[in-house]
């Protein structure tokens, strides 16, 4: 698969404890993105953050949280990102979803390691 030099990055900000159909939401989103043929997805786990509720989520020892911030980043063409957005609507995500233009410098897979 190749990507043009311009694309979009879809960022989805959710909590670690968010679930969809008895599955971690971040996992469900990545699997749906893969099934939709998107170029790739990365899940990032944050050490600290807050969202619309202003509730602080932190990994500090004294305030151990099992609901740390999660960011899912997906990069692909604007058309494929737009086609994926209704999937997120169907999942009724409570969080923040953003889309930005990006410049793709390189997208190449090496040999598959077994």
pLDDT one-digit tens code per residue, 75-114: 999 999 999 999 999 998 888 999 999 998 877 766 767 6
Domain containing 98 equals 14-103
Looking at the domain assignment, is residue 5 inside a domain?
A: no
Looking at the domain assignment, is residue 71 inside a domain?
A: yes
Where do we find the tokens 């990006």? 102
Where do we find the tokens 């305030």? 63
Element at 79 (helix H, strand E): helix 78-90
Nearest one of 80, 65, 87 to 12, comparing CA atoms:
87
Looking at the domain assignment, is residue 38 inside a domain?
A: yes
Number of domains in the chain: 1
d(CA 34, CA 103): 21
Span 42-57, pLDDT tens digits: 999 988 887 777 677 6
Question: Looking at residue 50, which CATH number applies to its domain?
Answer: 3.30.70.120
Where do we find the tokens 């959710």? 14
pLDDT at 106: 75
Looking at the domain assignment, is residue 41 inside a domain?
A: yes
């Amino acid at each position: 698969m190749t990507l043009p030099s311009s694309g979009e990055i879809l960022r989805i900000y959710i909590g670690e404890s968010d679930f969809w159909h008895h599955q971690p939401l971040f996992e469900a989103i990545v699997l749906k993105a893969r099934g939709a043929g998107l170029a790739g997805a990365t899940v990032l786990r944050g050490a600290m953050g807050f969202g619309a509720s202003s509730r602080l989520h932190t990994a500090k020892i004294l305030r151990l949280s099992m609901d740390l911030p999660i960011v899912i980043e997906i990069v692909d063409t604007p058309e494929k990102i737009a086609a994926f957005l209704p999937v997120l609507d169907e999942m009724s995500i409570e969080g923040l979803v953003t889309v930005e233009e990006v410049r793709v410098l390189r997208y190449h897979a090496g040999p598959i390691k077994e």
